[in-house]
Amino acid sequence: MAASFARLIKTQVRSYSAPADKAIPASKQRYIPTTGTYPQGFLVSGTHVGVKASNTRFPDLALIASETPCSAAAVFTTNKFQAAPVQVSRETLRSRMGEGIRAVVINAGCANAVTGKGGMEDAVSMGRKVDECSGVEGDSSLVMSTGVIGQRLPISKILDGIPTAHANLASTHEAWLTTARAICTTDTFPKLISRTFTLPSAPERTYRLAGMTKGAGMIHPNMATLLGVLCTDAAVSPAALQSLLKHAVSRSFNSISIDGDTSTNDTVAVLANGAAGGETVQAPASSSAQPSADYSALQKVLTSFAQDLSQLVVRDGEGATKFVTVRVRNSSDYDSARAIASTIARSPLVKTALYGRDANWGRILCAVGYSQGVRDGVVVPERTSVSFRPVDGSPPLRLLVGGEPEMVDEERASAILQNEDLEIEIDLGGGEKGADGCGGEDAVYWFCDFSHEYVTINGDYRT
């Protein structure tokens, strides 16, 4: 009994690989905003509760609250092992039909995943404690957790900390930054962006959109990773919000790859409280109906915003030294293009070559060739081209043109690969033909390289 207990203790003191002092590397400072414009009616806080015993001072409980009820939508991990907060938040959204959501509460340090019935109760109690502090009835809070899998939450610490988190709520830039920091685990920097936008129905009215995310790989020892929360003061119907979020996430958070692993906790939620006034953005009546001008405009804004936010996750990829955009052009369908982009982004051989700054078009081509889920006839060797596009706007470096290898200027290739940023372009030369003989669907993925540091971080030398 004593031995078992000792083992349990040992299991629970596993520590993160991230530096204990949470010092932000100099190279990442530029991704941290020094100011922001945040949506009206939203209040946020980041509070230290010490979910992990080793964390004695850093905020690890984030609360994002709206002064008025919000429309809300979320997309959740498709992993079959769904963490308790994922199950609880999905049920809250379902039973409320995406209306009347008031808050999102998030803890870092423990994922509350694979924790059975007790874990479900913990997740429910976190949300209810927030509701109680806000003085609202019914389940109106979404819950997220990120951290180690297979351990129960220190729930009393969290429940005891929620009143403080509520008392700390504020709308300043500093509060938003502290909140973004409170959801971090092995991230090396907080990921927060904000912007303003207008909608065609009221060009003079300014809306605000802010979002935070975390996730740097699915790390030590059993971490469950990616979370994102977006808030806007535009008025959006729940149905519109769900379809807008789904579209945006497919082209942002679901188009990035650190290591290809998908965690049990991945969740991105969006809240819209309408505090900026104006008409409510509605979803098209059917999938074939023409969307309203406001809907289309908001789709562009939200997708671009989610892309910028999700790219910060790639910037903070474990051990990453490169930020790579892969663009697959001129496919006859979007899904095939996306499958190819995803396969390249996940290939260990492509990722190690980029780390080694080697212009390995053969590995890229191989990945194109073995991509699964690509429609017949989309990949035709004789019309496939591969190029590197430098970030400085200089002409692309062609590696393969129409299936024929180019004589590569190795010095230029090497110079291009010295940069942190790189774009790889695969032109499938297909789709509906335009004046230039090409035309069709494009897909984009963002990913990072595989480095020695990735292996060190994830190899987790505990000895």
Please report how close the Cβ of residue 300 comes to a second copy at its closest, in angstroms. 30
Please report how close the Cβ of residue 20 comes to a second copy at its closest, in angstroms. 19
Please report how close the Cβ of residue 344 comes to a second copy at its closest, in angstroms. 11
Tokens of 268: 């991105």
Which is catalytic among the residues 188, 225, 267, 343? Answer: 225
* Cβ partners under 8 Å of residue 119, min gap 6: 83, 84, 112, 113, 152, 153
Please report how close the Cβ of residue 366 comes to a second copy at its closest, in angstroms. 6
C-alpha span between 255 and 249 (Å, rounded)? 8
Compare residues 128 and 383 and give the one whose CB is closer to a second copy.
383
Burial class (CB in 10 A: 0-12, 13-18, 19+), 80: exposed
Question: What DSSP string runs through 12-53?
Answer: HT---SS-TT-PPPGGGGGGS-S-----TTEEEEEE---SST
**Are 48 and 165 within 8 A, CB to CB?**
no
Please report how close the Cβ of residue 444 comes to a second copy at its closest, in angstroms. 21
HSE (side-chain half, CA atoms, 13 Å) at 245: 26
C-alpha span between 404 and 35 (Å, rounded)? 50
Please report how close the Cβ of residue 242 comes to a second copy at its closest, in angstroms. 22
List, in sequence order, every residue forming a beta bridge with 213; answer none if it has no partner.
191, 228
Compare residues 445 and 454 and give the one whose CB is closer to a second copy.
454
Compare residues 174 and 410 and give the one whose CB is closer to a second copy.
410
Residue that has been written with the tokens 């429309």 in this structure: 71
Which ranges of 107-237 would DSSP assign to H, the alpha helix?
Answer: 116-134, 155-167, 173-182
HSE (side-chain half, CA atoms, 13 Å) at 378: 26
Compare residues 72 and 424 and give the one whose CB is closer to a second copy.
424
Altogether, the residues listed in the chain come to a count of 463
Among 44, 51, 271, 79, residue whose Cα is nearest residue 146:
51
Compare residues 357 and 398 and give the one whose CB is closer to a second copy.
357
Compare residues 88 and 192 and give the one whose CB is closer to a second copy.
88
C-alpha span between 273 and 412 (Å, rounded)? 51
DSSP one-letter code for 254: G
Among 32, 34, 447, 397, residue whose Cα is nearest residue 258:
447
346 by DSSP, 3-state: which?
A: helix
225 catalytic per annotation: yes
Please report how close the Cβ of residue 395 comes to a second copy at its closest, in angstroms. 17
- List active site positions: 225
